[in-house]
Chain A
Amino acid sequence: MTPEMKERLTNEVKDNDVVLYMKGTAMIPMCGFSARAAQVLQAVGVKIHDVNILDSDELRLALKEFSDWPTFPQCYIKGQFIGGSDILMDMYQDGELQKMVAELPKVTPVK
């Protein structure tokens, strides 16, 4: 991972409350797991900064190292690595996710 890429990712997860590195976009996901992760985040009403990792091999490979996580999607909330779609779904079902995003500004969920 280049120092520039590391800086980009560090800033991106710091400057955005909710970041989802995914296959496709929240509007047009290209993978079932990415779709599910986006849906869970939309269900709790937060604004998603979605980044399509299919746009760049460099980005995709860098993220595996940056997050120390081999799969996508990868979600960050308030700068903290949360995990992928299984973890987001579990946290949503347990109500933990709702608590974590309680103070964040809400948007109307995308239909």
Chain B
Amino acid sequence: MTVAQKIEEKLRAALNVHELVLDNVSHHHAGHASSPGTGESHFNLRLVSPDFEGKSRIERQKLVYQLLAEELQGPIHALSLKILTPAEA
């Protein structure tokens, strides 16, 4: 399973996902000093779920960070997050 598939699977298993757009932007960072060169290290994630209602920006990101803790300690070098409720999307 690719890193992208793992990310998507974990988020969908834990959250009521209305929209999930995961952009692999690793190629933008290929060759950087800190880039692992795996092709699956840098991602932009747009996530829409009613589970984020009533949660602050920090709480939302923490929730996603917790769900992806394993990946963040390993293959993911950078993850840019846009986390919205359906009403905000």
Contact = CB atoms under 8 A, between A and B. Distances in A.
B62 interface: yes
Interface stretch (A40-48, A68-76, A98-106): A68-76
A87 B80 contact: no
Contacts, number: 34
A81 interface: yes
Interface residues of B, number: 15
B69 A81 contact: no
B72 A71 contact: yes
Interface string B34-71: 10000000000000000000000110011001000100
Contacts of A85: 80
Interface of A: 31-33, 68-71, 81-87, 90-91
